[in-house]
Amino acid sequence: MKRRREEEEMEIVWQTPANPPERHDYIFRNAFRHEPPVMAWDVSILQKEPDVLTVCKPASVPVHASGQYRKNTVVGILEAEHGLAPLFPIHRLDRLVSGLLILARSASKADFFRQQVKCMLPYPSNGKKSRIEARVVHKQYVAKVVGVFPEDEQVVNVNVNFNVREGRSTVEVESAGNACTSLKGKAASTKFTRISTNGTHSIIRVHLQYTGHPIANDMLYLSDEIVDPFSKGMGADSTAGVSEEDSKEGFSIDPMCTNCPNLAHKGYDTDQEGLWLHCLRYTGPGWTYECPYPEWASLD
């Protein structure tokens, strides 16, 4: 806290119960942010237009600032390394998912895209149009899954609900196994097509689990058992537990920061590197943006 004593003189004063702030005091607060690490992969710019920017987002990097992440984000990296700001992400892409990310370069363009992403065309009376076909914007992903996926096209129409206790999304089904018509969960439809036998994202993940072919490195959905998201070494969305002794090694402790002694070690778990789930394409009225296939999905 700085307290003005004379016209051009400032004095640094520590605020205490015996020395509370006074009127016209300048109050400063020191904050230590311990940001989690991300993989050192580039955020590749795919297309740069006056009002739209498309990039290939690497896995492990969140799209924007949230939680403990402030600088290690796609938006933060693009601003720091390319001077691109402001940027407005127009769709979600989970931290552990890679692929196409579309960012508007103005608020008006962002609103234009977001309205299209949310828009649904009216269903025809004959009921021939599916939820997917009724959408104005179509999105396409590629995933590497467990087992040999069926050759014929698979369409999953089941409601999805996020289970806070389990820390993951679950499908709502009746006891007989039919899709539940309850309005508690989010209505969702996903169409799957096998492209190779060798090679809202939580919806895709849980729908693939529902078909019996979860993403091959998605520890959160590989098992039907309840997963404790805070347990040691469980899943791609959580940090593996470490001993207190290990957690104090490999980093310096700032004497002014009360959180430093409680930090985990500087290592990075392999299950934090990302999922085998990659956004390939977004298509809307009069526009299409694409992203190259990832290395793990090469068709060569």
Please give the positions annotated as active site.
Answer: 94
Of 147, 149, 151, 169, the closest CA to residue 160 belongs to 169
d(CA 277, CA 144): 7
The amino acid present at 156, given as its one-letter code, is V
The CA distances from residue 185 to 85, 160, 215, 223, in Å, are: 36, 5, 22, 21
**CA dihedral sign, ordered 138, 278, 42, 62:** positive
All domains of the chain, ordered by start, with CATH?
A: 1-30 (no CATH), 44-297 (3.30.2350.10)
Contact 211, 192 (CB under 8 A): yes
Say what the pTM is: 0.66
pLDDT at position 65 is 92
pLDDT at position 280 is 94
pLDDT at position 61 is 94
Q: What is the pLDDT along the chain (300 residues), one digit of tens a residue?
A: 555 555 556 666 666 777 777 777 777 776 677 788 888 889 999 999 999 999 999 999 999 998 888 899 999 999 999 999 999 999 989 999 999 999 999 999 999 998 888 776 664 545 554 454 557 888 899 888 877 777 787 777 777 776 666 667 666 655 444 444 444 556 666 776 766 544 355 677 777 776 777 888 787 777 654 344 333 333 333 333 333 343 334 445 555 565 665 555 455 555 567 888 999 999 999 999 999 999 888 665
Contact 276, 144 (CB under 8 A): yes
d(CA 219, CA 236): 6
**C-alpha gyration radius of the chain:** 24
Block residue for tokens 């237009």: 49
Residue 143 pairs with which residues in a beta bridge?
Answer: 277
pLDDT at position 144 is 84
pLDDT at position 1 is 55
Token pair for 205: 């993940």
